[in-house]
Structure 1
Amino acid sequence: MGMSAGYYLARQGVKTLLVDAFDPPHTEGSHHGETRLIRHAYSGDSAYIDMALRAHVLWKELEQESGTELLVPSGVLNLADQSVYSFAGRLAEAEKRQVRVERLDADELRRRWPVLNLPEHFGAMYEPDAGYLYSEKCIAAYRKLALAHGAQLLANTPVLNVTAREGSVTVHTHRGDYHGASAILSAGAWFGSLPPFAALPIRAIRKVVGWFQSIPAFDAGSFPGFTLGTGEGGYYGFPSIGGAGLKIGRHDTGREWKPGEPLAPFGSEESDEGDLRRVLEAYLPGAAGRLLKGSVCKYEHTPDEDFIIDRHPAYRHVLLAGGFSGHGFKFSSVVGEILANLAAGEASKQNIGPFSLSRFGLSPDQPQSGLTLEGIE
């Protein structure tokens, strides 16, 4: 979200400084691992569908400006045990917003994707206009274009402290102090380092993904991106791209992680491969070959798993953006646009009311100051 916001600010001609504790794209946040799903049908607040549709438009614009393929319209197949999860809410919202979706029963699923091994009580919702993003290429494109538009980047520069007063913000680093009229804090899984300056209800979770040897029927171009809701848990995945193997991860569960703690590598726990392999053997047996690669990343969740996009309770010229993990990457184009507009003193064209800090009881009556921060990005 920060790299995206930096691009949109620089494109507007705003003097922009990007500060990252690492060198983006990197493996210390929540954007690595090659791919992220982009889909449009959401239940609940309509803000998500509206933002997803705008995000898609912005990704296509970024593709054109960067000359790089970023979005693959593979379709996304959402599969679920109907005793565990219902598509009714998403189908209803999709119809209201004219998002193309198809409701598929078990017979239709077997006809179109015979490699699936699904019980009769499973159902599906297919989004033909959805697909996946090359996440690291997206970050690299934003970085290149932001710099081309005049932004400056401080890579490998942990923020040691942030101080704010009316009309100005100072970022303190080992390279010196940097001053601005406004700031955007998009610290991802590192938000745990922000208190007391911004004590947000965000917790980081260690997550794993694995790439498994699969038969050709699961290759890109033949098989779509997918989600899978089962009694064993919630999963998501991607076809085998360039022979890399089918990629799958688990959306629920995970061990809490705090900034500064070591992040255990893939395979440190039996469940890292075991949970993924069990669901593949049960429902996608043709993709349950040997493990080709495993990776670890971080989710960062709010208690209700909705985003935070708001102004600091005490410093209105400081914007806070977090709690995006699990399904947030697809929105980073539109969230960057929103943050850039707000930082430049403009109103957001998207409805960000559902992402307000007020739902957690945080208000401007709570003065906060000082910040010890390592790993902000």
Structure 2
Amino acid sequence: MKPSYDAIVVGAGSMGMSAGYELASRGLHTLLIDAFDPPHNQGSHHGEPRLIRHAYHGGAAYVSLALRADERWLELERMTGEKLLERSGVLNMSDPAIYSYDVRLHDALTHSVVIERLDAGEIRERWPGVQLADGYEGLYEPNAGYLYSEKCVAAYRRAALEAGAVLLTNTFVTDIVPDAGGVTVHTKQGSFTAGKVLISAGAWFKSLKPFVSLPIRPIRKVVGWFETEGTGFDAGKFPGFTLGTRDGGYYGFPSIDGKGLKIGRHDTGVEWQPGEELAPFGFYPEDEGDLRRVLSSVMPGAAGRLLSGAVCKYEMTPDEDFIIDTHPVHRNVLLAGGFSGHGFKFASVVGEIAADLLERGVTRHDIGLFSLSRFASVYQG
């Protein structure tokens, strides 16, 4: 393995693997380094699937990025011959006292997203398994759906290697040292130098202190798959969904291949530190309890026997917006992190953005929301 490259990607999960493919496909000699062997269960991309929506909270920039991400996922499908995206539709439901869809609907329509606004009665009529209380409202996107996350990472891995990238797996980065000649990344397997480096370390950013010190909190999260009654919750009949209630925010998926309806909770969670053992599903009573409680209330036909459970990690920023910006001291080091449990759908376009910034220093995409400057009072580089 040669010691020098045009670009090095530290952390080859969803964002890093996408960026590695983009860089290599543009002719840059690219090295990807990961502490594990992606796709793996040590980050945030395992336990398929992941939602992809276009009518997005957070402003018009997110809607634009979601639409571009969708295009890029389809390109990856065509290139690899792998089915990655299912257009199941996505039903967003909320108590208006918790969250109003007015701004999201406006942004979506401005970008020509196909969408319907529904009241609770219309939702109950269309999907009888959803026993939503009067007063709730929903947005339904028929062209949204879900991504097979592990297949996506594996597809980008194959594409990156075919484009000429080099992948170094099961390799922890011990130090990153910029100097006049570029940036040297030190590992126990050797040291490697490049003109530019992307750090996309997910929940493991804290292991790179003090070189990188970001306001990102890794959070232990759980998801469960529950047995359903009848076929009303099966893939092909039931959409992906989000649910905002006074007791928390949830998301989920239809039962795919009889594996059960998948549901997770977006808020709450136990903080985790790199190197700590991640408690298995069921370690805390609320792991199953929170999920079963909301299912029993809103989707009682999907509140059957727990078929399986899994744990993963969120990497939360204080405002839940991403970080995509250059290091405040070393301008040839790009940081991409803090994807806060809603970032996977954007991995395809984040890879494009990262390659733009490393290759040319600019991108056509609006990433102003993701600047480090918004954390100026708490960042210490």
TM-score, normalised by the number of residues in structure 1 = 0.95
Per-residue CA deviation, residues 147-184 of structure 1 (Å, 9 max, x unaligned), is: 01110000000111111124501111111101101000
Residue identity opposite 1:260 in structure 2: G
2:254 corresponding residue in structure 1: 239
SS in 2 for 1:59: helix
Say whether 1:228 aligns with 2:235.
no
Residue identity opposite 1:31 in structure 2: H
Q: Separation in 2 of the partners of 1:138 and 1:76?
A: 19
Partner residue of 1:116 out of 108, 122, 130: 130
1:146 corresponding residue in structure 2: 160
CA RMSD of aligned residues (A): 1.3
Say whether 1:70 aligns with 2:89.
no
1:89–1:78 distance in 2 versus 1, CA, 3 Å: same
Q: Separation in 1 of the partners of 2:99 and 2:174?
A: 44
The question of whether the paired residues in 2 share the 8 Å contact of 1:210 and 1:276 is answered with yes
2:176 corresponding residue in structure 1: 162
The question of whether the paired residues in 2 share the 8 Å contact of 1:17 and 1:153 is answered with yes
Q: Separation in 2 of the partners of 1:142 and 1:255?
A: 31
Q: Separation in 1 of the partners of 2:340 and 2:98?
A: 22
Farther off after superposition, 104-113 or 330-339: 104-113
Residue identity opposite 2:333 in structure 1: V
Q: Separation in 1 of the partners of 2:374 and 2:309?
A: 37
Partner residue of 1:27 out of 21, 28, 41: 41
Q: Separation in 1 of the partners of 2:368 and 2:180?
A: 24
SS in 2 for 1:27: coil
**How far is 1:47 from its partner?**
1.1
**How far is 1:195 from its partner?**
1.8
2:279 corresponding residue in structure 1: 264
**How far is 1:345 from its partner?**
2.1
SS in 2 for 1:109: helix
1:1-377 equivalences in 2 (<5 Å): 1-215=15-229, 216-361=231-376, 368=381
SS in 2 for 1:326: coil
Per-residue CA deviation, residues 290-309 of structure 1 (Å, 9 max, x unaligned), is: 00000000000111111000
1:221–1:313 distance in 2 versus 1, CA, 3 Å: same
**How far is 1:346 from its partner?**
4.4
2:6 corresponding residue in structure 1: none
Residue identity opposite 2:188 in structure 1: H
Q: Separation in 1 of the partners of 2:226 and 2:330?
A: 48
SS in 1 for 2:68: helix
Q: Separation in 2 of the partners of 1:167 and 1:60?
A: 38
The question of whether the paired residues in 1 share the 8 Å contact of 2:206 and 2:212 is answered with no
Residue identity opposite 1:322 in structure 2: G
**How far is 1:325 from its partner?**
2.6
Percent identical: 63
The alignment covers a number of residue pairs equal to: 366
Residue identity opposite 1:157 in structure 2: T
SS in 2 for 1:262: coil
Which structure carries more relative contact order (alpha carbon 8 Å, separation 6+)?
1
Per-residue CA deviation, residues 45-99 of structure 1 (Å, 9 max, x unaligned), is: 3211110000000000000001000000110000112222211111111122211
The question of whether the paired residues in 2 share the 8 Å contact of 1:168 and 1:181 is answered with yes
- Is there any run of 5+ residues in structure 1 with no aligned partner, and where? 369-377
SS in 2 for 1:217: coil
TM-score, normalised by the number of residues in structure 2 = 0.94
The question of whether the paired residues in 1 share the 8 Å contact of 2:59 and 2:104 is answered with no
Runs of 4+ aligned structure 1 residues displaced above 4 Å come to: none
1:47–1:274 distance in 2 versus 1, CA, 3 Å: same
SS in 1 for 2:66: helix
The question of whether the paired residues in 2 share the 8 Å contact of 1:166 and 1:315 is answered with no
**How far is 1:363 from its partner?**
11
SS in 1 for 2:262: strand
The question of whether the paired residues in 2 share the 8 Å contact of 1:106 and 1:123 is answered with yes
Residue identity opposite 2:38 in structure 1: P
Per-residue CA deviation, residues 187-230 of structure 1 (Å, 9 max, x unaligned), is: 10111122211111111100000000012100000000000111
